[in-house]
Structure 1
Amino acid sequence: MNAISRLDFQHLTAAEARQIRDTVRDVFQRSYVEAIASGDPFEAPDEFMGRFDAYTDPARSGDFEYVLARVDGKPAGQTWGWPLLPNTAWWPALVLDDPKVDRNGFIEETGNRTFALSEIMVCTEFTGRGLARAMQDELLGGRPEQRATLLVDPANDRAYARYLRWGWGKVGTLRPHWPDAPNFDVLIRELR
């Protein structure tokens, strides 16, 4: 494992992130090389950028926060998310693992209860160096929400194992409303 010599983070709002769409696309393509090559329509760069545009739409972006990681000045990874607002579209398809959990209480959002970590990706040439963890900590470290959630492909053993080591725990499953979206495991992590 090669150490990262110089790591810098840049925090952007939704509007600022939209101004660097080419970088967002480039980091995605350098991070999801195998997934894109698989031909899965959900992983197609144009589909991904369509989701990015929806997340950063000025009409709904709210407190969207984007973090770009640079190693020696070169974009090496990115992560983003936002607080879930009341009546969020995040939870409707949630199936909780524990039938004793009050579903309505679990999915009730106030705008400051849950931060949705939507994406975290590291360019292949920088994997295995702790960059994903550093980006997660950078994005979540100052968040005021009580908890964070993320969706992970249960077949992505490498990422899944890391999330569990970083304090995330599985609470259920969910298939997002996006076309061709897979069924994801839902993970939760307490922030405070």
Structure 2
Amino acid sequence: MKLPDRVEFQHIDAAQARDLRVTVADIYRRSYMDAIASGDPFDSPDQFMHRFDTYTSPARASAFAMVIAFQDGQPAGQTWGWSLSPNAPWWNNFQPDDAIYDRAAFTNEDGTRTFALSEIMVCANYTGRGLARALHDELLGSRHEKRSTLLVEPDNRRAYRAYRTWGWTRAGITKPSWPDAPTFDVLIRDLPT
């Protein structure tokens, strides 16, 4: 699918992301209208922005990376993640699939091994145009880590299908420690070197 004309990507760090907090919240609201309307506390804008504030906090700032897509100068989507540090909480509740025989080796982080892709979202009026894939490729293409990981709800068939098409494979499941967090499938993908 061809990306629409007049799409620009802006790479930003944690401090810049905090400065764009209102834009981040707006993109979330315009991307997850159905999830927000469901009333699930985990999907509430307040809880989402609390997680965002944690991801971009000064303590984690050096590992954070974000890309915002603009079409015709208007925010159309965003993606972000961070490098996993040693003893990263990302793996705390990870339950590997049977194919992963050595959990400790799989989850061992040094700050350069794994990039955690936390969010990809496209505003509803920009979906179906290849923007999610473009955001994905733009962010991951700028990374130096060996692999990337992400979480996806097993019943989110549209996202799951896209991730599989983009080269992601399932490694296991996890339930993050965030309040009201669901159980997610953990996906993994090697990054080009």
TM-score category by the smaller chain?
A: over 0.9
2:83 aligned with 1:83: yes
The answer (yes or no) to whether the contact 2:147–2:189 under 8 Å persists in 1 is: yes
Deviation of 1:57 after TM superposition, in Å, equals 0.4
Matched to 1:65, the amino acid is: A
Residues 25-174 of structure 1: pairs in structure 2 closer than 5 A: 25-98=25-98, 101-174=101-174
RMSD: 1.3
Deviates more, 1:98-107 or 1:2-11: 2-11
CA gap 1:152/1:88 in 2 versus in 1, 3 angstroms = same
**Which residue of structure 2 lines up, in the alignment, with residue 188 of structure 1?**
188
**Which residue of structure 2 lines up, in the alignment, with residue 18 of structure 1?**
18
**Which residue of structure 2 lines up, in the alignment, with residue 7 of structure 1?**
7
Deviation of 1:99 after TM superposition, in Å, equals 5.7
CA gap 1:41/1:186 in 2 versus in 1, 3 angstroms = same
CA gap 1:100/1:121 in 2 versus in 1, 3 angstroms = closer
Deviation of 1:142 after TM superposition, in Å, equals 2.1
Runs of 5+ unmatched residues, structure 1: none
DSSP-derived class of the 1:161 partner? helix
Matched to 2:101, the amino acid is: V
Matched to 1:103, the amino acid is: R
The answer (yes or no) to whether the contact 2:100–2:171 under 8 Å persists in 1 is: no
Deviation of 1:181 after TM superposition, in Å, equals 0.2
Deviation of 1:159 after TM superposition, in Å, equals 0.5
The answer (yes or no) to whether the contact 2:3–2:131 under 8 Å persists in 1 is: no
Matched to 1:131, the amino acid is: L
Deviation of 1:63 after TM superposition, in Å, equals 2.1
Runs of 5+ unmatched residues, structure 2: none
Matched to 2:65, the amino acid is: E
Deviation of 1:3 after TM superposition, in Å, equals 5.7
Deviation of 1:34 after TM superposition, in Å, equals 0.1
Deviates more, 1:71-80 or 1:3-12: 3-12
DSSP-derived class of the 1:90 partner? helix
Residues in 1 aligned to 2:153 and 2:174: alpha-carbon distance in whole angstroms:
10
Deviation of 1:101 after TM superposition, in Å, equals 1.6
Matched to 2:15, the amino acid is: A
Residues in 1 aligned to 2:104 and 2:92: alpha-carbon distance in whole angstroms:
10
Q: TM-score normalized by structure 2?
A: 0.97
Residues in 2 aligned to 1:96 and 1:6: alpha-carbon distance in whole angstroms:
42
DSSP-derived class of the 1:52 partner? helix
